[in-house]
Structure 1
């Protein structure tokens, strides 16, 4: 993490700061410093100076219907961490967490095992309604989202946050909810920046819907810098014991080449023709590493849908029964380690053109809803105690909604539009590298003057 000691000096010299800047809120102490934080830069993730590839599983014992947080139960967590070590994974995705609970023990145990966590900031009670998004984008909802950030951003092994999961699907009317999902992404990134937290990447987990896949991807990476995602992920089940060409993955790599931000698979692992996980070899090969940063296999626990590789009699069962896919997945990961070097990544981020309205994409405006007025206070005061998994929910709150559209670059939080032209962001909220030479020059002048005065 970059030092901020020189920021006040540079802000004064270059005129970046306001006359009365908002006081910096100190970042809370890390709960675990044994693993380096992961950042997003260019179209890749980085663990220090080493390229980081997501090599993991989706993890939600009991499924979404159970509404349980596996990271808040130390016994469950440690039981499964032992199995994660056998698999050789480095990341898990958790769909449901309790932002009113403590997670120190489990997150520490995961960090000790070298495992990072991607957190879904939504849950079934607090989320965007895809077919009636306006009322569900409200202060109560954002309080829960921000409380989840507060809880997990303190851990060094929190890799990223998802602002939504498959909100936009094959129902064409659901494309109208994309502006609200993008607004949530913007709000989360602004919250992280305004609370002076470390730059944890924020992005969206999309359904792999052929008719709107690229429109949605472009939409999440167009506009001003503050409106764009730090990464784009999608759930892809098209590799069914086939190969790079037959699965269509070759065309997806081609379509996403030059996209401009990190991409990874938030779910993969077709079960149609059995599972040998041969797609791991493709993900870790030079056919894909210039564009993709790995992926998450769906899923760890065997649920009613039949995708899991580990059977658990009940969420709190003491033991795990590995299924046939467990050994196959572990073998695929071992045979295809993360490649060395930079994998052919693209060093500079870039925005893309926003999609235009058509029969499969109903949005005809690039404007995003302004953050609800009641949620503005969270930026300075923090979100407070989260509602957890026993709250009243937010989709039917019926108050505290957005009152209009935001000026691009503002979100009603900041006042200055930011350029989206080929900006190179070093993590969340970064700016163009074009200012760097001037910042360095200014610093030299300041230090020179300071040294002169001291002589």
Structure 2
């Protein structure tokens, strides 16, 4: 009987530990926690056949007990204590995988977005559809004690030309953190994964932790500077460590593992978990577990459902199991000082579902089937005024935004509406005035206006070329463009 009680106590302890943040460090119970992680995400293969009525277009690796339990043995052999999962299906059941991983002492960092629903750098938006996705993932994953944190974005801003996308990520962090608090969930950290571009790295790092509204709980960087047998200095790790010394929140490598030299020797692991870098960094996540077309994997998935080890597996195993980083206790974690933002900035508003639902009920022509938001709006917004789509209705879903423009253009004309959509009777609320009709501009009138303003059609395009990784999103307002210009000059 005593033996069974001891086993039960060990089991409860193994799955009930939670990672917390104190100062700028992660802690597991009272001891500092260092991430020894790996990216754990399988991609669908070109031409892969699957049931689209039951499965999403992406693979959730924590929703398949057969594969996750198979991989768990390899992950334990590698010495991994964290997996990063890029795509979570909110409607799937994750109990088996999450509980098994928790029992093995493996925590999960999950991205809130998915390939076709994310904040786009060239066409950013924070709207009801995307916020709904984020909330659904939080609802599905918050109950697991080994849920370590969420990424609100991954390399959304990756150059000086798209800095104006970052306020949308910060708005996502703000609203996700508030949603977690309002629901009474455990305080699960929400942060951001940045690319490693020296020209914007410092500005982004400061931007995501200055002030209070929408401040990130952690900041991570995808780093591929150390290749082969590099060194602390020549790899750029020294400059990174000096730049983030005293940073107010935990920082870690959300991806690392350059593969220019293959098999990879992973010599950077000795340095990442050595005494110099552990004063600043909380470890990192090797890219990646599964072999894909870019050849970063440590295992190869086989047609029979099994996996085979690749040359990188044993090297990573040897390196991860040979390092034991030494940190501090939670009592030794001091308070960190947050910096004030050097410029006032305006974040996009919290998406308002009630407002957008009200608008939806008033629309007389709704878009039909699948659509390319960018191309549809680029056409319609040369013919009718779409100013509200960058203002009051910018936080509505892509379907509502497109249907709004289509309703204004069709103006009740069935033949015009049915070219792209379906005519319906708008559901006007009692006591409210009907939406003001906007006269349709004929082609001659539009051409005359263009000539008068001397603005070529190309120069008026507000909707950049669509990023194939996501459909959801819109363009940044001129206010945010002005802010970023002022901030980074």
**TM-score over 0.5 (shorter chain):** yes
In the other structure, the counterpart of 1:96 is 87
Alignment counterpart, residue 156 of structure 1, candidates 134, 145, 148: 145
Give the drift of 1:395.
7.1
1:212 matched to 2:200:
yes
Give the drift of 1:334.
1.3
In the other structure, the counterpart of 2:109 is 118
CA distance in 2, matches of 1:308, 1:287: 28
What do you get for the CA RMSD once the two structures are aligned?
2.8
1:113-192 equivalent positions in 2, closer than 5 A: 113-133=104-124, 136-170=125-159, 172-192=160-180
Kept in 2, the 8 Å contact 1:32–1:108? The answer is no
CA distance in 2, matches of 1:33, 1:343: 20
1:331 matched to 2:318:
yes
Q: Secondary structure at the match of 1:308?
A: coil
In the other structure, the counterpart of 1:68 is 59
Kept in 1, the 8 Å contact 2:301–2:308? The answer is yes
CA distance in 2, matches of 1:261, 1:397: 38
CA distance in 1, matches of 2:354, 2:98: 28
CA distance in 1, matches of 2:20, 2:188: 7
Kept in 2, the 8 Å contact 1:217–1:232? The answer is yes
Alignment counterpart, residue 397 of structure 1, candidates 387, 399, 411: 399
CA distance in 2, matches of 1:306, 1:99: 29
**Cα distance per residue 1:115-156 (max 9 Å; x no partner):** 1000100001221121111xx311111011011001101000
Q: 1:67 to 1:120 in 2, by over 3 A?
A: same
Alignment counterpart, residue 371 of structure 1, candidates 337, 350, 354: 350
In the other structure, the counterpart of 1:289 is 278
Q: 1:208 to 1:307 in 2, by over 3 A?
A: same
1:213-228 equivalent positions in 2, closer than 5 A: 213-224=201-212, 226-228=213-215
CA distance in 1, matches of 2:183, 2:45: 30
Higher relative contact order structure (alpha carbons within 8 Å, sequence separation ≥ 6): 1
In the other structure, the counterpart of 2:463 is none
In the other structure, the counterpart of 2:334 is 347
Q: Secondary structure at the match of 1:71?
A: coil
CA distance in 1, matches of 2:175, 2:110: 16
Q: 1:76 to 1:376 in 2, by over 3 A?
A: farther
CA distance in 2, matches of 1:337, 1:331: 12
Kept in 2, the 8 Å contact 1:183–1:369? The answer is yes
**Cα distance per residue 1:83-129 (max 9 Å; x no partner):** 10110110000001101111101111111111100010000122112
Q: Which moved more, 1:243-252 or 1:393-402?
A: 393-402
Q: Which protein shows a greater Rg?
A: 2
In the other structure, the counterpart of 2:3 is none
Alignment counterpart, residue 222 of structure 2, candidates 232, 235, 248: 235
CA distance in 2, matches of 1:346, 1:140: 39
Aligned length: 347
In the other structure, the counterpart of 1:264 is 252
Kept in 2, the 8 Å contact 1:138–1:397? The answer is no
Q: 1:345 to 1:220 in 2, by over 3 A?
A: farther
Gaps (5+ residues) in structure 1? 1-30, 357-364, 378-390, 406-455
CA distance in 1, matches of 2:112, 2:45: 14
Give the drift of 1:196.
1.0
In the other structure, the counterpart of 1:443 is none
1:106 matched to 2:97:
yes
CA distance in 2, matches of 1:84, 1:91: 9
1:250 matched to 2:220:
no
CA distance in 1, matches of 2:60, 2:227: 31
